[in-house]
Every structure is written in structure tokens, then in C-alpha cells.
Amino acid sequence: MSHLGNEVAGGRPVGSLRDAPGRAAGGTTPWRTGSLTQNPRTILSPDGVQRMNTALSIETELLDGDILAVVLGGSLNSTTTDQFNLAIQNHLDQGRTKIIIDCRYVDYISSRGLGSLAALRAKLRKKGGEVKLAAVRGVAADAIRLVGLDKLLNIYGDTEFARQSFYPATP
């Protein structure tokens, strides 16, 4: 796997999501800012004030030389969807047609974010490609099911299962 890049909304650089705050050793705990769990879009600032989490981190890796794995962290909403679209478009311009969107650190997807995922599916299908979602959980999974995107998008438990699905089973 080769690392392709990290981005975060607002121009703030971010390291690997492996180093994100709130992650337990071994990388199995979902990334969360603050300690609130009732509304994942809300973060608790150091001064104790609740604020909306509008940041999106994007980490990309190339798997098997031709599958782009995009690990998202935070919220895919009206504030961050343009950032997501731009990052994805840069990879589409490079000819990438196999994409996995890893949602294990996504705490919220708005209707605009859902629309962006549907549009990505349409773009890739026109090019003979495919987008697959991995590790969709919680509020994000509920939003995808609510609008029926789970019927259009291939969704897998983790990135490895999504990667394997690009290769047909041999008899």
C-alpha cells in the first residue's frame, strides 16, 4: 500500500487517522472528538461548550496498484462535501475507477453528502468503474438506509472485504 495524501477541511494539515485523537491502541476504536455520543455531529470543546463538528479528514491509499481506498473522518456535510468532491475528482482525473470509501470514522452524512456518493457512483459506472463503501456504522448507516442508497451502493463490513469484491471468485 502506498500513501497518497491527507487533507482536512479548513486547510489544517492532519497526520494519519491512525494518530487521530480518541483512538485506542490497535486502531479499533471509532474516531470521535470530545466525549458526546448522543449527537455525533456535536463536539465538546475544552471550555465545555457544545459545537458542531464540521471537519472532514481524508486519507487516501492505493491498494493492489489500482484500487483507491479513501478513509474519511468526521462529517460529510454541506460544509465538507465540496472538499470531498474535489479530492475524489483529482483521483478520477488520474484515471482511478475502483474506489473504496472507508466510513469507519464518519460520524455524520448529510443529504448533500449522500448526493455526492450517489453522483460518484454514476460517474464511475459511466467509466466502467465502481465505488464501494466499507465500515458504515451508526448515524451514517441510518442515513444511507433511510434514502435507499444501501440498495444502490455495495456496502462491506471493512476495507478488506470491499477490496476482495473487486476480484471475481475463481471456480
Tens digits of per-residue pLDDT, 120-168?
A: 999 999 999 999 999 999 999 999 999 999 999 999 999 999 999 999 8
pLDDT in tens, 63-120: 999 999 999 999 999 999 999 999 999 999 999 999 999 999 999 999 999 999 999 9
Q: 37: which residues sit within 8 A by CB, 6+ positions away?
A: none
Beta-bridge partner residues of 98: 67, 130
**Nearest one of 155, 2, 9, 5 to 90, comparing CA atoms:** 5
Give the pLDDT confidence score for residue 46 in this predicted structure.
58
Spell out the domain ranges in the chain: 2-16+40-165
Going by their DSSP bridges, the two strands 130-134 and 2-8 should be labelled as unpaired
- Calculate the alpha carbon distances from 100 to 16, 42, 66, 69, 132 in Å: 17, 27, 11, 5, 5
- Superfamily of domain 2-16+40-165 in the CATH hierarchy: STAS domain (3.30.750.24)
Give the pLDDT confidence score for residue 14 in this predicted structure.
34
